[in-house]
Structure 1
Amino acid sequence: MASWNFGLLLGLLIIYDFIPANEGVEMSPMIIKQVKKLRLRCINQTGASAEIMEEFTRKREIPSFPEFKCFIHCMFDMFGLIDSQNVMHLDALLEVLPVEIHHVINGLIEACGTKKGLDGCETAYETMQCYINVNGKFIWDEIIVMLG
């Protein structure tokens, strides 16, 4: 149970920057520091380069490099948002996010579910691409900032 709660907390961290500033959600510097550590860990595990991450954020285009696809999977996995069967569980965020943005998360869940790919990396990539297609403003302005 503790690992599940930790996963939810991490999930909240990954989307912290997706929450508009006027929503009144404050994250402690310690939590933000942990997200940055996990980001670095996933970069190191997948071989996604800092240049790829900077380009991704700057261009607002999701790269199709295999390393980047696996980076997305790694982050989802670290935050407990994708399981060992490569099924997304974005709904877990509803337990830790403010009610004011539940409609956004529910919209992503309803529209995207889990987009199946050839493997976990491809599944995470396709699902993230769907999230961007459905609500790109929310994804780019609030979430990607933290990962980039």
Structure 2
Amino acid sequence: MTRGASGRQVSAFQWLANWLLVGGWCVLVYALCAGCQRAPPRRDDVYPPPDTLAFYKPYAEQCVTETGVSVAAIKRFSDQDIFEDDQKLKCFMECMFRVSNLTDAKGEVHLGKLLDTIKPEYEDLALRMGAKCMKAKGKDLCERAFWYHKCWKTADPVHYYLIGP
């Protein structure tokens, strides 16, 4: 028997159970607070690189027309949250890969071609972002394209961006 905070006697089991309960709540509160304090995506005069955005803008316009995705959905995915219920957005992502010739017929990203499109000062950032995103999963090309974007955004939500029109 030991004495609890109130001075009354409690068994070692009760004491341990109380501390585990308190510890569990602390972990839960910490996890919730960590999610609330996520850094916002980087958006400034130099990032995302304006010349990259300008280069891909015609592709994005073509893919918006082809898929019917809303510009709001592109912006929401890029700057806010990951959501999986927009098939048009997923197919927009596939279209962007296809028209810029960055994927093969199976929807696998050509890493070398992708790195060729990235400014040298951002290559290390891109490699770290994509290190765990090598083998796409999905039942079709749209799902596979979405898988890459979701993986990249999850890996580095601060530097991830989805190019839109």
Which TM class, normalised by the smaller chain length? 0.5 to 0.7
User: What's the CA shift for 1:42?
Assistant: 0.7
Counterpart for residue 47 of structure 1: 68
Map of 1:27 onto structure 2: 51
Structure 2, unaligned runs of 5 or more: 1-41
Contact (CA 8 Å) 1:91, 1:109: kept in 2 or not?
no
- The answer to whether the aligner puts 1:147 opposite 2:164 as a matched pair is yes
- Mapped contact 1:90–1:109 kept (Cα < 8 A): no
Q: State the AA in 1 paired with 2:125.
A: V
> Normalising to structure 1: TM-score of the pair?
0.67
Greater length-normalized contact order (CA 8 Å, ≥ 6 residues apart): 1
Structure with bigger helix share is 1
Count of aligned positions: 124
The CA RMSD over aligned residues, in Å, is 3.1
1:55-105 residue CA offsets vs partner (Å, 9 max, x unmatched): 435534345311110000001111122111211123323334333222122
User: CA–CA distance in 1 between the matches of 2:66 and 2:50?
Assistant: 29
Question: Per-residue CA shift, 1:92-142, capped at 9, x if unaligned?
Answer: 233343332221222233210132100000000011100011111110xxx
Q: Calculate the TM-score normalised by the size of structure 2.
A: 0.61
CA contact (8 A) 1:90 1:105 kept: no
Q: C-alpha separation between the residues in 1 aligned to 2:63 and 2:72?
A: 15
**Are 2:160 and 1:136 equivalent residues in the alignment?**
no
Quote the Cα distance in structure 1 between the aligned partners of 2:130 and 2:145.
14
**Given residue 110 of structure 1, which amino acid in structure 2 is its aligned partner?**
A
Greater shift after overlay, 62-71 or 50-59? Answer: 50-59
Gaps of 5+ in 1: 1-16
